[in-house]
Structure 1
């Protein structure tokens, strides 16, 4: 209930429902993560995100991927760019099950990529770097998904 309250406090849809599907199957079933699913497949990360976890995924929608400059997704999906694609995708994943009620208390989190993401809760929104969280606490058997409206890019190394 507190998770729902945290989500509602920021005007975010909260879907604190446990699922028997893993993160990948939950995302595919939602119908708004086709590009993400394709990218996970190309990066070889499907098996990892079907694993025991738990994981927290800040999942960009198809619309979020469409906001990238033209050709960016196609370029990232090329086999020669697999390492860069893995870096981008793992920048959207945090180890552990971090529910909305905990996210709003954080100002940063370490991603599976190894780089930090900034988290800001206030002014009626929760931001992860420059992406707005639009839905929270989508439960999966091995973690949780929070939906974001923009693809976040890791810092250049």
Structure 2
């Protein structure tokens, strides 16, 4: 199973998966390459306002920059 498939099944990391989907970055993690991924749980983002997260999800160019880090 590849990282993106696992991530989409884990309910505690939805805030991280949403930007991956929005930036169409899910396929990045479907190759045969080895990846190390540190994933913060959703409760890590509780201090952010929903409007901040929504604004980021709408800024696809910014999401694309983040996904290549």
The question of a shared fold, defined as TM-score above 0.5 by the shorter chain, is answered with yes
2:36 match: secondary structure? strand
Decide which structure has the larger Cα Rg and report it. 1
RMSD of equivalent CA atoms: 1.6
Match of 1:27 in 2: 7
In 2, the alpha carbon distance for the partners of 1:85 and 1:65 equals 16
- Aligned length in residues: 68
Match of 1:74 in 2: 54
String of CA shifts for 1:54-113, please: whole Å, max 9, x gaps: 111121221123332x121100111xx11212233x3xxxxxxxxxxxxxxxxxxxxx42
Query: Structure 1: where are the runs of 5+ without partners?
Result: 1-20, 91-111, 114-157
| Match for residue 41 of structure 2 among 61, 64, 78 | 61
In 2, the alpha carbon distance for the partners of 1:47 and 1:58 equals 18
Bigger helix share: 2
Query: Structure 2: where are the runs of 5+ without partners?
Result: none
Higher relative contact order (CA 8 A, sep 6+): 2
Change (3 A) 1:62 1:49: same
TM-score, with structure 2 as normaliser = 0.78
Match of 1:143 in 2: none
Change (3 A) 1:84 1:31: same
Q: Where does structure 1 differ by over 3 angstroms across 4 or more consecutive aligned residues? A: none
Check whether the contact 1:65–1:73 (CA below 8 A) recurs between aligned residues: no
Shift of 1:23: 0.6
Check whether the contact 1:42–1:82 (CA below 8 A) recurs between aligned residues: yes
